[in-house]
Structure 1
Amino acid sequence: MKRENLTVVSEFIFQAFSSFHEHRLILFVVFLTLYLLTLAGNAVIVIIISTDRHLHTPMYFFLSMLSTSETVYTLVIVPRMLACLIGPSQSISLAGCATQMFLFITLAINNCFLLTAMGYDRYVAICNPLRYTAIMNKKVCSQLVWGACSCGLLVAIIQISSVFRLPFCDREVAHYFCDIRPVMKLSCADTTVHDIINFIISSMVIVVPMGLVFISYILIISTILKIASAAGRKKAFATCASHLTVVIVHYGCASIAYLKSKSENTRDEDQLISVTYTIFTPLLNPVVYTLRNKEVKDALYRAIAKKSLA
């Protein structure tokens, strides 16, 4: 496209769920309900872990960090999406789009590496229990959390610098938030190099932590199978079940969304996949850890009992 035909784009307009226009009110109610449940569930987890001394362990420290990150992650995406469903304005400024994308990438990658840290914690607890307290001390736990956040920030800076250096000649984003692929499609320039960079980075931040988690679980399972007592094996498996469930769903959704070819799905299919990891996956964390985790349930019961007696 010739330079004189380019227009300066100062804002983008979301084409959120345009194929579901007749059902927008229903979608709003469903998404709002799930969003409120997510906020409430993650808030309960953070409060319970911070107030119950039985949960002041590395495993639950990482869980509280994950719940906090998931809460901010949904705050970045869902409120604007809900506004787009029922509000008259579906626009976002260029700076606002860059900010949303930056926070989304930072928090999404932070969540990936926090799950890896939780996998490492389970590996040390089961495969090297005698040295657990020495290895997983407060300093190491803090370093793992800061490392996860730093990876997210670094990748977000690289991605934002790459995407928003492009010239844009269209402003209609075929999505409900500023994700990388939908925004890059608005560029007038050839984005082949940017697509390759995006795929390489996505592969690294999904495949590497996912691989580390599954290596940890291979070692964990081999150790558990060597436990002589059936009760001991059951207890060991129980301590990992919640985390493994979240890991499979989280990395599964991320892989489907970012490691597939650009042309494999339609716009509506891409949006539905995005709903999975922006709305349903954050809700999975509090549901799994409250319904499947005995220690968290016991802490919750103690808090309720204490409140009732007060």
Structure 2
Amino acid sequence: MLLLILPDPRFHTPMYFLLSQLSLMDMMLVSTIVPQMAADYLTGLKPISPAGCGLQIFVSLTLGGGESFLLAAKSYDRYVAICHPLCYPILMNQKLCLHMTTGSWLLGKVDGLMQAGSILRFPYCHYQELNQLYEATYLKHLACSDTRIFLFFMYACCIIMLLISLSLISASYSPVLVAVLHMGSTATHKKSFATCYSHLDVVGLFYGAMIFIYMLSKSYSSVAHEEVVSPFYTIFIHVLNPFYTV
């Protein structure tokens, strides 16, 4: 998708630019996790250095947080395209599109630095095998000190970030739904929904898994459920994204 979008001037529009950034984040996130996981299974050697562990946590959290805000930016793009089509070149200009994309990367980086830097400062007692390391919170099992306060603030931060992104997406798609329902012809309905439903599929899969991890699973303390859901939203959703967004 990147090779199709970047060289072709016809695709140099806000919608395709945001799509190229989403593709880049998906590719980087999967490349951060899958090669290490595959090497562990093939060689049978599963240790990871503190530096490698910290880098993996930082990159994965940065890309995951950045993608959540980028999905909100894409929803605003669809809102402008459907509700204000005549003003689209003005409201979704190149400068605003670049600012939204840069903001998504920066907010994701801040999230990654805060969480990775905080959790790696804990004293760790000994080496121990973990079932997975998609989530930075799994390192709490190795810490010698009390991590409850840190985990509370970390989950609160993640929940606030999710709620902000979901609120922006809801605020964008609510008027879109109203505008589409007031359109006259069935063909127009189908065309308008066709530009949005694939993005909503991605949003539903991504945020559904994130909400389960950070909001629901903590109520039940189900580590087994987390082990199933974590690779789903860190690997499988990003593999499926190109099929939903083209």
Q: CA RMSD in A?
A: 1.5
Aligned residues: 246
Structure 1 residues 206, 175: closer, same or farther in 2, change over 3 A? Answer: farther
Distance 2:36 2:207 in 1: 25
Distance 1:288 1:178 in 2: 24
1:77 to 12, 15, 33: 33
Q: Does the 8 A contact of 2:134 with 2:230 survive in 1? A: no
2:113 equivalent to 1:157: yes
Could you report, residue by residue, the CA deviation over 1:161-180 in whole angstroms, capped at 9, with x for unpaired residues? 22112111133242332522
Is this contact kept in 2: 1:84–1:90, CA < 8 A? yes
The answer on whether the counterparts of 1:116 and 1:212 sit within 8 Å (CA) in structure 2 is yes
Larger radius of gyration: 1
Equivalent position of 2:123 in the other structure = 167
- Contact 1:78-1:278 within 8 A present in 2 as well: no
Query: Which of residues 224, 233, 237 is equivalent to 1:277?
Result: 233
User: Is residue 133 of structure 1 aligned with residue 83 of structure 2?
Assistant: no
2:2 pairs with 36, 43, 46, which one? 46
The one-letter code sitting in structure 2 at the alignment partner of 1:48 is L
Letter in 1 for 2:148: T
The question of whether the paired residues in 2 share the 8 Å contact of 1:62 and 1:118 is answered with: yes
- After superposing the two structures, state which structure 1 stretch, 210-219 or 101-110, moved more: 210-219
Please state how far the C-alpha of 1:268 moved relative to its aligned partner: 3.6
Which amino acid in structure 2 is aligned with residue 175 of structure 1? N
* 1:227 alignment partner in structure 2: 183
Whole-angstrom distance in 2 between the partners of 1:250 and 1:69: 13
Instruction: Provide the C-alpha distance between the structure 1 equivalents of 2:32 and 2:221, rounded to a whole number of angstroms.
Output: 25
Partner-residue secondary structure (3-state), 2:173: helix
1:142 paired to 2:88: no
Helix, strand or coil at the partner of 1:85: helix
Residues 1-310 of structure 1: pairs in structure 2 closer than 5 A? 45-177=1-133, 179-262=135-218, 264=220, 266-290=222-246
User: C-alpha offsets along residues 196-254 of structure 1, whole Å, 9 cap, x if unaligned?
Assistant: 11111110221210121122111110011111222212111111111111111111111
- Deviation per residue, 1:7-43 (Å, 9 max, x gap): xxxxxxxxxxxxxxxxxxxxxxxxxxxxxxxxxxxxx
SS of 2:48 mapped into structure 1: strand
Residue by residue over 1:67-96, the C-alpha shift from the partner in whole angstroms, topping out at 9 and shown as x without a partner, is 001100111111111112221310011111
Verify the 8 A CA contact 1:173 1:186 in the aligned structure 2. Answer: no
SS at match of 2:212: helix
- Please say if residues 81 and 177 of structure 1, whose CA atoms lie closer than 8 Å, have aligned partners that are also in contact: no
Describe the SS at the equivalent of 1:92: coil
Partner Cα separation in structure 2 for residue 287 and residue 265 of structure 1: 33
CA distance in 1 between counterparts of 2:30 and 2:119 reads: 22
Q: Is the 8 A contact 1:81 1:176 kept in 2?
A: no
Q: Distance in 2 between matches of 1:159 and 1:151?
A: 12
The TM-score normalised by the length of structure 1 is 0.76
Q: Deviations over 1:43-62 (max 9, x none)?
A: xx111112333322111110
Cα deviations by residue, 1:259-293 (Å, 9 ceiling, x for unpaired)? 23447354443221112112210111111123xxx
Separation in 1, partners of 2:59, 2:236: 19
Q: Which runs of 5+ in 1 are unaligned?
A: 1-44, 291-310
The answer as to whether partners of 1:101 and 1:180 remain within 8 angstroms in 2 is yes
Name the aligned partner's letter for residue 208 of structure 2.
G
Which is worse superposed, 53-62 or 196-205?
Answer: 53-62
Structure 1: distance between partners of 2:206 and 2:28: 17
Structure 2 portions without partners, runs of 5+: none
In structure 2, distance between residues paired with 1:66 and 1:175? 29
Q: Which letter does structure 2 place at the counterpart of 1:196?
A: F
TM-score by length of 2: 0.94
